[in-house]
């Protein structure tokens, strides 16, 4: 039975619902992996004491942050 703050779906009663549950779990796992990797990269860039001042002012950093999650989603 479903209740508030439940992170998963209700029990499946048909094969198509089982496939939808598998898709939901799989996509949720991929989203969590992307979020964790982005937070790790941001933490590594912030905590690095060898900061390149030119890189922060340029658009290269924004390009990297944009293309990395997109490349993870494509592959």
pTM > 0.75: no
End-to-end CA distance of the chain: 36
What's 62's DSSP letter?
Answer: H
Locate the domains of the chain by residue range. Answer: 49-75
Q: Rounded to the nearest 10 degrees, what angle do helices 15-47 and 60-74 cross at?
A: 160
Per-residue pLDDT at 38 exceeds 70: yes
pLDDT per position as a tens digit, 39-67: 998 888 778 777 666 666 677 778 888 88
């Amino acid at each position: 039975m479903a209740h508030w703050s439940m992170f998963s779906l209700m029990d499946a009663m048909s094969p198509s619902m089982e496939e939808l549950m598998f898709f939901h779990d799989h996509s949720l796992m991929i989203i969590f992996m992307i979020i964790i990797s982005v937070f790790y990269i941001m933490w590594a860039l912030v905590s690095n004491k060898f900061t390149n001042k030119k890189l922060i002012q340029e658009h290269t950093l924004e390009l990297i942050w944009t293309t990395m999650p997109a490349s993870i989603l494509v592959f």
